[in-house]
């Protein structure tokens, strides 16, 4: 198909967010953009269970401060399995570059979230990102 959509590298996402309204809005935005949300969880233990289950994941969208621990632990688990990680948080954690592909500062606009995912996807495909959204830091390929 000449004008068809290009096949995405990032399709299946795990959303780890403990603020219900942020999680709901993010899910809605991503589904509208035709991403598949494999799961939305609000705890480290639940995120680890999804990652360890072997379900196919392309990207983990990850808050840092969670009720039962740090999202950094989830990032380490995802990174170890070759899953890309995008931190979405108020302040990017120390050592983020070693386990994540990027960090998007909260609060963020939905278009900036989508552009951040696209930028990570471009880097994973060996290309330069078309647009760098406000509040986004792109790290070297981590996954």
7 found inside a domain: no
Banded pLDDT at 2 (limits 50, 70, 90):
low
Domain hosting residue 70, numbered range = 12-136
Rounded to an integer, what distance in angstroms lies between the CA atom of residue 35 and that of residue 52? 21
Rounded to an integer, what distance in angstroms lies between the CA atom of residue 88 and that of residue 104? 5
Give tens-digit pLDDT for 98-107. 999 999 999 9
1 found inside a domain: no
Q: What share of the chain is helix, strand, coil (3-state, %, to 5)?
A: 35, 20, 40
CA neighbor of 106 nearest in space, from 128, 125, 91 = 91
Percent of the chain with pLDDT over 70: 93
For the chain, the domain total comes to 1
Can you give the pTM of this predicted structure? 0.91
Average pLDDT in the chain: 91
118 found inside a domain: yes
Give tens-digit pLDDT for 107-118. 999 999 999 999
56 found inside a domain: yes
CATH code for the domain in which residue 122 is found: 3.40.50.2300
């Amino acid at each position: 198909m000449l004008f068809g959509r290009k096949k995405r590298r990032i399709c299946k996402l795990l959303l780890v967010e403990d603020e219900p309204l942020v999680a709901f809005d993010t899910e809605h935005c991503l589904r509208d953009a035709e991403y598949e949300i494999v799961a939305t969880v609000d705890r480290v233990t639940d995120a680890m269970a999804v990652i360890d289950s072997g379900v196919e994941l392309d990207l983990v969208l990850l808050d840092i401060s969670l009720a039962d621990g740090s999202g950094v632990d989830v990032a380490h688990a995802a990174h170890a399995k070759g899953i890309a990680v995008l931190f979405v948080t108020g302040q990017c954690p120390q050592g983020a570059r070693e386990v994540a592909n990027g960090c998007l500062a909260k609060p963020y606009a939905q278009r900036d979230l989508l552009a951040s995912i696209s930028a990570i996807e471009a880097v994973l495909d060996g290309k330069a990102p078309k647009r760098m959204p406000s509040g986004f830091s792109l790290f070297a390929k981590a996954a």
